[in-house]
Amino acid sequence: FDLLSVSQASAMSAERFEVVYHVSATSEADARERTFGMCLEQTVELPEKLVRDDPFIWGTVVGKIEEFKKVEGKPDLWQAKVSYANDTTGYEFTQFLNVVFGNTSIQQGITVEDILPSEGLLKAFKGPKFGTAGLRKLLNVPSGPLFQTALKPMGSSVEKLADMAYKFALGGIDVIKDDHGLANQCWATYEERVTACAKAVAKANAETGK
Protein backbone atom coordinates (compact mmCIF):
# COMPACT_ATOMS: atom_id res chain seq x y z
CA PHE A 1 0.00 0.00 0.00
CA ASP A 2 1.32 3.45 -0.81
CA LEU A 3 0.82 6.10 1.87
CA LEU A 4 -1.41 8.28 -0.31
CA SER A 5 -3.81 5.44 -0.97
CA VAL A 6 -4.00 4.51 2.71
CA SER A 7 -4.75 8.09 3.78
CA GLN A 8 -7.40 8.45 1.09
CA ALA A 9 -9.14 5.23 2.07
CA SER A 10 -9.14 6.09 5.78
CA ALA A 11 -10.77 9.46 5.07
CA MET A 12 -13.64 7.93 3.12
CA SER A 13 -16.97 6.71 4.35
CA ALA A 14 -17.29 2.94 4.36
CA GLU A 15 -20.86 3.20 3.13
CA ARG A 16 -21.88 2.17 -0.35
CA PHE A 17 -25.13 2.65 -2.23
CA GLU A 18 -26.55 0.21 -4.77
CA VAL A 19 -28.03 0.49 -8.23
CA VAL A 20 -30.02 -2.25 -9.95
CA TYR A 21 -29.51 -2.50 -13.70
CA HIS A 22 -31.03 -4.62 -16.43
CA VAL A 23 -28.43 -5.71 -18.96
CA SER A 24 -29.27 -7.10 -22.40
CA ALA A 25 -26.80 -9.62 -23.79
CA THR A 26 -26.56 -12.74 -25.92
CA SER A 27 -25.17 -14.86 -23.07
CA GLU A 28 -24.53 -14.73 -19.33
CA ALA A 29 -20.81 -14.31 -19.95
CA ASP A 30 -21.49 -11.34 -22.19
CA ALA A 31 -23.87 -9.83 -19.63
CA ARG A 32 -21.29 -10.21 -16.86
CA GLU A 33 -18.63 -8.63 -19.04
CA ARG A 34 -20.90 -5.68 -19.81
CA THR A 35 -21.70 -5.26 -16.13
CA PHE A 36 -18.05 -5.38 -15.13
CA GLY A 37 -17.29 -2.80 -17.81
CA MET A 38 -20.02 -0.62 -16.33
CA CYS A 39 -18.40 -0.82 -12.87
CA LEU A 40 -15.29 0.71 -14.42
CA GLU A 41 -17.01 3.18 -16.74
CA GLN A 42 -19.26 4.65 -14.07
CA THR A 43 -16.30 5.40 -11.81
CA VAL A 44 -12.74 5.46 -13.15
CA GLU A 45 -13.43 5.32 -16.91
CA LEU A 46 -10.28 3.28 -17.47
CA PRO A 47 -9.49 -0.36 -18.32
CA GLU A 48 -8.97 -2.80 -15.46
CA LYS A 49 -5.24 -3.15 -16.15
CA LEU A 50 -4.67 0.55 -15.43
CA VAL A 51 -6.28 0.57 -11.98
CA ARG A 52 -6.02 -2.98 -10.62
CA ASP A 53 -2.64 -2.37 -8.96
CA ASP A 54 -3.93 0.58 -6.93
CA PRO A 55 -5.55 -0.93 -3.81
CA PHE A 56 -7.52 2.20 -2.98
CA ILE A 57 -8.97 2.76 -6.44
CA TRP A 58 -9.56 -0.92 -7.16
CA GLY A 59 -10.85 -1.83 -3.72
CA THR A 60 -12.98 1.21 -2.99
CA VAL A 61 -13.64 3.50 -5.93
CA VAL A 62 -14.47 1.02 -8.69
CA GLY A 63 -18.05 -0.26 -8.64
CA LYS A 64 -18.63 -3.79 -7.30
CA ILE A 65 -21.06 -6.41 -8.57
CA GLU A 66 -23.05 -7.47 -5.50
CA GLU A 67 -25.72 -9.62 -7.18
CA PHE A 68 -26.21 -11.02 -10.66
CA LYS A 69 -29.13 -13.10 -11.93
CA LYS A 70 -31.26 -13.92 -14.92
CA VAL A 71 -34.50 -11.99 -15.41
CA GLU A 72 -37.25 -14.60 -15.50
CA GLY A 73 -39.09 -14.89 -18.78
CA LYS A 74 -36.54 -12.76 -20.63
CA PRO A 75 -34.06 -14.92 -22.56
CA ASP A 76 -31.60 -12.11 -23.26
CA LEU A 77 -31.87 -10.05 -20.06
CA TRP A 78 -29.93 -10.17 -16.77
CA GLN A 79 -30.24 -8.17 -13.56
CA ALA A 80 -27.15 -6.81 -11.85
CA LYS A 81 -26.90 -5.02 -8.53
CA VAL A 82 -23.80 -2.82 -8.40
CA SER A 83 -22.54 -0.92 -5.36
CA TYR A 84 -20.60 2.33 -5.39
CA ALA A 85 -18.81 4.13 -2.58
CA ASN A 86 -20.77 7.06 -1.18
CA ASP A 87 -17.79 9.31 -1.69
CA THR A 88 -17.69 8.75 -5.45
CA THR A 89 -20.64 11.15 -5.53
CA GLY A 90 -18.79 13.98 -3.82
CA TYR A 91 -22.17 14.38 -2.07
CA GLU A 92 -23.37 16.41 -5.05
CA PHE A 93 -26.61 15.30 -6.65
CA THR A 94 -25.45 15.85 -10.22
CA GLN A 95 -22.37 13.70 -9.58
CA PHE A 96 -24.57 11.10 -7.89
CA LEU A 97 -26.59 10.84 -11.11
CA ASN A 98 -23.36 10.67 -13.10
CA VAL A 99 -22.21 7.67 -11.06
CA VAL A 100 -25.60 5.99 -11.32
CA PHE A 101 -25.93 6.34 -15.09
CA GLY A 102 -23.29 8.52 -16.71
CA ASN A 103 -21.40 7.29 -19.76
CA THR A 104 -23.23 3.98 -19.60
CA SER A 105 -26.45 5.79 -20.52
CA ILE A 106 -25.26 6.09 -24.13
CA GLN A 107 -24.85 2.32 -24.42
CA GLN A 108 -27.73 0.28 -25.77
CA GLY A 109 -29.36 -2.43 -23.72
CA ILE A 110 -28.59 -1.18 -20.20
CA THR A 111 -31.26 0.42 -18.03
CA VAL A 112 -31.53 1.56 -14.41
CA GLU A 113 -34.30 -0.35 -12.65
CA ASP A 114 -33.85 0.76 -9.04
CA ILE A 115 -31.62 2.87 -6.80
CA LEU A 116 -30.98 1.82 -3.21
CA PRO A 117 -29.46 4.81 -1.41
CA SER A 118 -27.37 4.41 1.72
CA GLU A 119 -28.23 6.12 5.00
CA GLY A 120 -25.45 8.62 4.39
CA LEU A 121 -26.82 9.65 1.02
CA LEU A 122 -30.34 9.95 2.38
CA LYS A 123 -29.01 12.38 4.98
CA ALA A 124 -27.00 14.31 2.38
CA PHE A 125 -29.78 14.54 -0.19
CA LYS A 126 -32.82 15.63 1.76
CA GLY A 127 -35.07 16.18 -1.23
CA PRO A 128 -36.52 19.30 -2.83
CA LYS A 129 -35.88 22.56 -1.02
CA PHE A 130 -39.52 23.62 -1.16
CA GLY A 131 -41.50 20.56 -2.19
CA THR A 132 -44.89 20.65 -3.88
CA ALA A 133 -46.55 22.52 -1.02
CA GLY A 134 -43.79 25.11 -0.96
CA LEU A 135 -43.99 25.69 -4.71
CA ARG A 136 -47.75 26.13 -4.53
CA LYS A 137 -47.29 28.67 -1.76
CA LEU A 138 -44.65 30.59 -3.71
CA LEU A 139 -46.80 30.56 -6.84
CA ASN A 140 -50.05 31.24 -4.97
CA VAL A 141 -51.71 28.25 -6.63
CA PRO A 142 -53.17 26.16 -3.77
CA SER A 143 -54.74 23.54 -6.05
CA GLY A 144 -55.03 22.43 -9.63
CA PRO A 145 -52.28 21.89 -12.21
CA LEU A 146 -49.09 23.95 -12.35
CA PHE A 147 -48.11 25.15 -15.81
CA GLN A 148 -44.55 25.78 -16.97
CA THR A 149 -43.01 26.88 -20.24
CA ALA A 150 -39.71 28.13 -21.64
CA LEU A 151 -38.69 31.33 -23.39
CA LYS A 152 -37.29 30.63 -26.86
CA PRO A 153 -35.94 30.60 -29.53
CA MET A 154 -32.27 31.52 -29.35
CA GLY A 155 -31.73 34.67 -31.40
CA SER A 156 -34.74 36.50 -29.97
CA SER A 157 -34.14 40.02 -28.69
CA VAL A 158 -34.50 41.01 -25.05
CA GLU A 159 -37.65 42.93 -25.93
CA LYS A 160 -39.22 39.96 -27.70
CA LEU A 161 -38.44 37.58 -24.85
CA ALA A 162 -39.79 40.02 -22.27
CA ASP A 163 -43.01 40.44 -24.26
CA MET A 164 -43.29 36.67 -24.46
CA ALA A 165 -42.83 36.39 -20.69
CA TYR A 166 -45.48 39.05 -20.13
CA LYS A 167 -48.02 37.24 -22.31
CA PHE A 168 -47.24 33.87 -20.77
CA ALA A 169 -47.77 35.25 -17.25
CA LEU A 170 -50.92 37.06 -18.34
CA GLY A 171 -52.24 33.83 -19.80
CA GLY A 172 -51.79 31.88 -16.58
CA ILE A 173 -48.41 30.19 -16.89
CA ASP A 174 -47.07 29.61 -13.37
CA VAL A 175 -43.36 29.06 -14.03
CA ILE A 176 -41.45 30.68 -16.90
CA LYS A 177 -37.86 29.65 -17.51
CA ASP A 178 -35.11 30.30 -20.01
CA ASP A 179 -34.81 27.61 -22.62
CA HIS A 180 -31.60 25.68 -22.03
CA GLY A 181 -30.00 27.22 -25.11
CA LEU A 182 -30.31 30.77 -23.80
CA ALA A 183 -27.09 31.68 -22.03
CA ASN A 184 -25.27 35.01 -22.30
CA GLN A 185 -25.44 35.60 -26.04
CA CYS A 186 -24.74 39.14 -27.24
CA TRP A 187 -28.24 39.73 -28.63
CA ALA A 188 -29.89 38.96 -25.28
CA THR A 189 -27.38 38.95 -22.44
CA TYR A 190 -28.27 37.17 -19.22
CA GLU A 191 -28.50 40.31 -17.08
CA GLU A 192 -30.53 42.30 -19.58
CA ARG A 193 -32.84 39.39 -20.35
CA VAL A 194 -33.57 38.44 -16.74
CA THR A 195 -34.10 42.05 -15.69
CA ALA A 196 -36.53 42.73 -18.53
CA CYS A 197 -38.42 39.46 -18.13
CA ALA A 198 -38.77 39.89 -14.36
CA LYS A 199 -40.28 43.34 -14.91
CA ALA A 200 -42.62 41.95 -17.56
CA VAL A 201 -43.84 39.17 -15.27
CA ALA A 202 -44.31 41.63 -12.40
CA LYS A 203 -46.42 43.81 -14.69
CA ALA A 204 -48.59 40.85 -15.67
CA ASN A 205 -48.99 39.79 -12.05
CA ALA A 206 -50.09 43.29 -11.11
CA GLU A 207 -52.76 43.13 -13.79
CA THR A 208 -54.02 39.66 -12.86
CA GLY A 209 -53.65 40.12 -9.12
CA LYS A 210 -51.67 36.92 -8.84
Round to whole Å and give the CA distance between 112 and 95.
16
Q: Assess whether 176 and 103 both reside in one domain.
A: no
**pLDDT of 2 strictly over 90:** no
**Residue 115 neighbours by CB distance under 10 Å:** 14
Determine the pLDDT at residue 7: 45
Which of 99, 124, 149 is at the close of a domain?
124
Round to whole Å and give the CA distance between 100 and 93.
10
**25-40: average pLDDT:** 98
Which residues make beta-bridge pairs with 81? 20, 67
Q: Assess whether 7 and 110 both reside in one domain.
A: yes
Question: Does residue 153 have a cis bond before it (omega within 30 degrees)?
Answer: yes
At 31, which CATH number? 3.30.70.150
Burial 76-101 (b: 16+ CB within 10 A, else e): ebbbbbbbbbbbbbeeeeeebebbbb
Q: Assess whether 118 and 155 both reside in one domain.
A: no
Q: Assess whether 8 and 82 both reside in one domain.
A: yes
Q: Assess whether 161 and 100 both reside in one domain.
A: no
**1-11: average pLDDT:** 44
Q: Assess whether 100 and 137 both reside in one domain.
A: no
Which of 124, 149, 167 is at the close of a domain?
124
Q: Assess whether 26 and 109 both reside in one domain.
A: yes
Lowest-confidence region among 6-10, 181-185, 201-205? 6-10
Number of domain units in the chain:
2
Q: Assess whether 108 and 22 both reside in one domain.
A: yes
Q: In which band, very low, low, confident or very high, does the pLDDT at 11 lie, cut at 50, 70 and 90?
A: low
Round to whole Å and give the CA distance between 137 and 40.
44
Q: Assess whether 14 and 117 both reside in one domain.
A: yes
Q: Assess whether 63 and 110 both reside in one domain.
A: yes
**42-60: average pLDDT:** 96
Q: Assess whether 75 and 117 both reside in one domain.
A: yes
pTM of the model: 0.68
Percentage of the chain with pLDDT > 90?
88
Domain range for 20: 3-124
Q: Assess whether 34 and 119 both reside in one domain.
A: yes
62-90 pLDDT, tens per residue?
999 999 999 999 999 999 999 999 999 99
